[in-house]
Amino acid sequence: MRGLLANLDRRFAIAGVVLFVSGLLLVAGLVSIVVTLNDDNVDLPSEGSLEEILREHEPAQTSDESPVNEVAGPPPTRMSIPRIAVDAPIVAMGLDSRRYPEVPKNGGDVAWYTFSAAPGQGSNAVFSGHVDWYYWGQPGEGVFYHLRELQIGDEILLDLEDGSQVRYAVSGNVAVAYDDPNVVDVMAPTSKDVITLITCGGTWQRDYSDPNGGNYSHRVIVRAERVSGLASGQGVGGG
């Protein structure tokens, strides 16, 4: 995976669009599931814009000789977002056989992408989670169902494998059309210590020609900046 982010614009230019068009964060492997969000979930966030997020955090300078991924750090193990009552385990994921980012295999997990930075290491750590999931044959909320409700300044806490904790504050929460080619840019490395959370949003658009049965109209993207951390070893609870 070394050097992947340094070439993100080139290698994901097409794959990123296909990824989001084909249903990033839809229910993986359950292609027959079609879920229509309730009317109250159609409201989309507008805390800033995609352009502001990308402009605010200029991409880190990279070269083939000095890939961003050389900066290592303890992986994250748990995420807490108090405002929306998220307290979820984090699983490390990478690219699938098509070289698209993998998605969590259940509705309650958060994926951290190992081709992005480790949290607290001065660049962009990228996470994803499902907006909904089928539980015992019934549709229900995924871990990021309420992500669209986050506001500027809301806190996101990450427990790390070494027992420490890092703290971030939301700086942007935007909805982008699923086929916007610029969406993939939010996964690029940055010159600041930030995290990016991605899920689906908007309305379900049925399309029987799609392997997933359709697609959501938007992607919800939350960007958060590192702020003064809590004491090392102070966890967010849960198990």
CATH number for the domain that contains residue 211: 2.40.260.10
Task: Grade residue 71 by pLDDT with cuts at 50, 70 and 90.
Answer: low
Q: What is the pLDDT of residue 203?
A: 83
Unique residue bearing structure tokens 């020609």: 209
Domain count, the chain: 1
Structural domain contains residue 45: yes
Share of the chain above pLDDT 70, in %: 69
Unique residue bearing structure tokens 């607290």: 120
Q: Is the pLDDT of residue 85 over 80?
A: yes
pLDDT average, residue stretch 82-108: 92
Q: For 101-110, 133-142, 171-180, which range has the lowest pLDDT when averaged over its residues?
A: 133-142
pLDDT average, residue stretch 194-222: 83
Structural domain contains residue 201: yes
d(CA 68, CA 50): 23
pLDDT average, residue stretch 118-132: 94
Unique residue bearing structure tokens 């097409």: 14
Contact 112, 93 (CB under 8 A): yes
Q: What is the pLDDT of residue 60?
A: 54
Alpha-carbon distances of 129 from 7, 46, 73, 105, 171, rounded to whole Å: 24, 20, 22, 10, 19
Share of the chain above pLDDT 90, in %: 45
d(CA 129, CA 183): 16
Q: For 54-68, 70-84, 199-213, 219-233, which range has the lowest pLDDT when averaged over its residues?
A: 54-68
Contact 189, 68 (CB under 8 A): yes
User: Is 187 exposed, middle or buried (CB count within 10 Å of its CB: 0-12, 13-18, 19+)?
Assistant: buried
Structural domain contains residue 236: no
Give the 3-state secondary structure of residue 122: coil
Structural domain contains residue 117: yes
User: Higher-confidence residue: 25 or 83?
Assistant: 83
Q: How far apart are the first and last CA of the chain?
A: 30
Range(s) of the domain holding residue 48? 5-227
Contact 150, 222 (CB under 8 A): yes
- 110-113 and 124-128 beta bridge pairing: antiparallel
Tens-digit pLDDT profile for residues 174-191? 999 888 888 889 999 998
Beta-bridge mates of residue 168: 156, 226
Q: For 116-125, 126-135, 221-230, which range has the lowest pLDDT when averaged over its residues?
A: 221-230
Structural domain contains residue 232: no
φ, ψ for residue 238 (rounded to 5)?
90, 180
Structural domain contains residue 218: yes
Structural domain contains residue 179: yes
pLDDT average, residue stretch 147-176: 96
Q: Is the pLDDT of residue 98 over 70?
A: yes
Contact 54, 71 (CB under 8 A): no
Structural domain contains residue 233: no
